[in-house]
Structure 1
Amino acid sequence: MQVSIVDAFTRTAGAGNRAGVVLDAVGLDAEAMQRIAAAVGASETAFMLSGPDGGVRLRYFTPKAEIDFCGHATVATFHLLAERGLLPREGHARLECAAGTLDVELEAMGGGASRAWIVTPRHAWETPPVPLSKVLPLVGGSVDMVDETLPAYRNAQRLVVPFRRREDVWNLAPRAGALAELLGPHGMRGLYVFTRDVREAGSVAHARYFVPGVGVAEDPVTGSAAGPLGVYLASHGVLSLPAEGGTVRARIEQGDAIGKPGRIEVEVTGRAGAPERARIGGVAVTVLEGTLRA
């Protein structure tokens, strides 16, 4: 099986979030894909079942489970398709996955690279089903670290919690098994924490994501969470949308705490206080090409 290893949300090999990409997955069943993803060992591996002419159809597997959508593995796949000349370096494409049909735009960048812009699935923002006083000690945190000017929410299968200080975010150390045991019965797979205490001018948030529910102790740079975070920040006035409607862009930092820095561009469209759509944007670099015998 031909497998590519691609680092997404970075142009530096070894940084960002590593994905496996199998461009010819026709004929593979779920069991085979799961076995390949486990052998690759990246946080996610994307399997292309059709495309690109009729729309790119992908399935995503962590080393332990299948998931509906993965931002960095999608960036990695479209980077690879453009790099190989299977898609133009600039233009629109259609992504089909378990989360639905999503628009993808390739933007030509300098040096022959392309940035992939991907519309992210939307999910309701709900009251957390578990008290933060029970969750945060399992990652080495406490409720006094929380930014009380912003709410904590459940969004899909993740708990989203704002912190005041980047230092506290960096010092978190999850007990993966205990966290999965607490969140799992409530249909949640992980904890996404962020702070507005950023490292770089132009960034709006700095994040970490612990996802033990799918066998990923920490996901280095998470596009599927960054898009919803953009909607959250626009809903609460951290990102300012025009009253008459328009678009705002910002950058989310992630991965720095574990030595794999990546940067996710986020674009939110809508009216002030009423965001309607989010896209994530990211570049990537191909690290390895090879044959996997699994």
Structure 2
Amino acid sequence: MTPAILRYSAFTTDPAGGNHAGVVLDARGLSDDAMQRIAADVGYSETAFLSPRADGDLDVRYFSPLAEVSFCGHATIAAMVAQARAQGPGDFVLHTQAGRVPVTVDAGFAATLTSVPPHTAPLDAADLDVLLAALAWRRDELDPALPPGLAYAGAWHPIIAAASRARLADLHYDFDALAALMAARGWTTINLVWREDEHTVHARNPFPPGGVVEDPATGAAAAALGAYLADRNQLPASRALTVHQGHDIGRPSLLEVEVPTDVRDGIRVNGTAVEIAAD
């Protein structure tokens, strides 16, 4: 029997904006192949499959149209807003392939996820050369204050900071070349950013491993960015920032990031989600 499939858009209050996600609130009994088929049929960058546990927690798996992914921030926000609308707001605990992810949904149906403990790592110089070539970006177009690096908060993302908003806006990349590099390195998206000021970041996220040219909102990448900025002592005093994503492709999204003093406690990403009406 085909389960009920909900469709939500995360990090927005407008169904035409944000990042769309499929949500299955009860995936118990579905095989891996069945979940993959459903995700492909839904056609969004990810679909979240929830399986309620006896202890009240939830097992969650995420599938893009092409493959399973370990963690997906926007689908988590979408799924937990959907869950809260079904059973009421509150605190939830998700068990993902990346680890344990607490989520709180407030009375206004805004959701805050807390990532698994993040990590950062250097980006290999040869990989950076291949990456920039695929993007058709030059090294002198990068922000010297934010050198390229890798960060993880449930999934690995290279973080590449542009020196100007114009450079970020002009994105035409070699899909196959970037997909091959990302598959070889296990990267989920490329987090391309431009820092407007210490509190405000604009982001774009190519996502060829999911068969998607660009992700309109990427919660896992926003959390990874928080870890990256903390590692480089580039956070504002408030340790909070706003990430604008999706504007360049007509899908504006808003992600709020909070970084605790001890990043091992996990990065918090907040956003709203709205149901997409059936055709």
Q: Secondary structure at the match of 2:196?
A: coil
Structure 2: state its 5+ residue gaps. Answer: none
User: Where do 1:50-199 residues align within 5 Å?
Assistant: 50=52, 54-84=56-86, 86=87, 88-89=88-89, 91-109=90-108, 114-129=109-124, 130-156=126-152, 157-197=156-196
Post-superposition offset of 1:216: 2.4
Name whichever of 127-136 and 220-229 sits farther off: 127-136
Q: Once the two structures are superposed, what CA deviation does each residue of 1:214-253 show, in whole Å capped at 9, x if it has no partner?
A: 3222111000010121122233333234xxxxx6322111
Q: Could you tell me which of 252, 255, 262 is aligned with 1:264?
A: 255
Name whichever of 188-197 and 12-21 sits farther off: 188-197
Distance 1:212 1:184 in 2: 9
Question: More strand per residue: 1 or 2?
Answer: 1
The answer on whether the counterparts of 2:142 and 2:161 sit within 8 Å (CA) in structure 1 is yes
Q: Secondary structure at the match of 1:234?
A: helix
Name whichever of 11-20 and 123-132 sits farther off: 123-132
The residue type paired with residue 267 of structure 2 is A
Q: Could you tell me which of 44, 62, 76 is aligned with 2:46?
A: 44
Q: Secondary structure at the match of 1:269?
A: coil
Distance 1:128 1:9 in 2: 29
User: Where do 1:224-239 residues align within 5 Å?
Assistant: 224-239=220-235
Distance 2:207 2:56 in 1: 33
Distance 1:54 1:169 in 2: 43
The answer on whether the counterparts of 1:226 and 1:280 sit within 8 Å (CA) in structure 2 is yes
Structure 1: state its 5+ residue gaps. Answer: 242-246
1:251 is aligned to: 242
The answer on whether the counterparts of 2:62 and 2:71 sit within 8 Å (CA) in structure 1 is yes
Q: Could you tell me which of 255, 265, 270 is aligned with 1:281?
A: 270
- Given the alignment of the two structures, is residue 219 of structure 1 paired with residue 251 of structure 2, yes or no? no
Judged with a 3 Å threshold, the aligned counterparts in structure 2 of structure 1 residues 171 and 150 are, in CA distance, closer, same or farther, namely same
Post-superposition offset of 1:53: 6.6
2:35 is aligned to: 33
Post-superposition offset of 1:289: 4.9
The answer on whether the counterparts of 1:44 and 1:70 sit within 8 Å (CA) in structure 2 is yes
Post-superposition offset of 1:192: 1.3
Post-superposition offset of 1:25: 1.1
Moved over 6 A (4+): none
The answer on whether the counterparts of 1:180 and 1:189 sit within 8 Å (CA) in structure 2 is no
Q: Could you tell me which of 8, 11, 31 is aligned with 2:10?
A: 8
Name whichever of 128-137 and 205-214 sits farther off: 128-137
2:200 is aligned to: 204
Post-superposition offset of 1:182: 2.7
The answer on whether the counterparts of 1:268 and 1:275 sit within 8 Å (CA) in structure 2 is no
Distance 2:235 2:243 in 1: 12
Post-superposition offset of 1:134: 2.5
Post-superposition offset of 1:133: 3.0
Distance 1:5 1:52 in 2: 26
Distance 1:257 1:162 in 2: 16
Q: Secondary structure at the match of 1:122?
A: coil
Q: Secondary structure at the match of 2:205?
A: strand
RMSD: 2.1
The answer on whether the counterparts of 2:117 and 2:265 sit within 8 Å (CA) in structure 1 is no
The answer on whether the counterparts of 1:164 and 1:197 sit within 8 Å (CA) in structure 2 is no
The answer on whether the counterparts of 2:151 and 2:228 sit within 8 Å (CA) in structure 1 is no
